[in-house]
């Protein structure tokens, strides 16, 4: 895990959390980086890179 996470990354994490909470409230328990990216308006690779700051999260290809 990096010593510091950029301000841009933390701002995006806030957006991810907001959308994930919305999905959770609708009963959704699994979401792909592609779907999340489409809703947030960023590339899926950026979401995966942001989350990689916290170690391995999720299951590849799901």
Q: Is residue 32 part of a domain?
A: yes
Q: Is residue 7 part of a domain?
A: no
Q: Show the domain range for 44.
A: 27-55
Q: Give the pLDDT confidence of 12-59 residue by residue, as tens digits.
A: 999 999 999 999 999 999 999 999 999 999 999 999 999 998 887 767
Q: Is residue 49 part of a domain?
A: yes
Q: Is residue 31 part of a domain?
A: yes
> Please, are residues 47 and 40 in contact by the beta-carbon 8 Å criterion?
yes
Global pTM value: 0.79
Burial annotation 30-54 (CB, 10 A radius, 16+ → b, else e): ebebeebbeebebeeeebbebbeee
Q: Is residue 37 part of a domain?
A: yes
Q: Is residue 16 part of a domain?
A: no
Q: How many separate domains does the chain show?
A: 1
Q: Is residue 47 part of a domain?
A: yes
> Please, are residues 23 and 31 in contact by the beta-carbon 8 Å criterion?
yes
């Amino acid at each position: 895990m990096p010593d510091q996470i950029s301000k841009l990354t933390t701002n995006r994490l806030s957006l991810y959390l907001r959308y994930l909470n919305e999905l959770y409230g609708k009963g959704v328990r699994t979401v792909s980086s592609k779907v999340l990216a489409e809703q947030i308006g960023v590339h899926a690779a950026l979401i995966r890179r942001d989350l990689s700051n916290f170690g391995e999260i999720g299951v590849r290809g799901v």
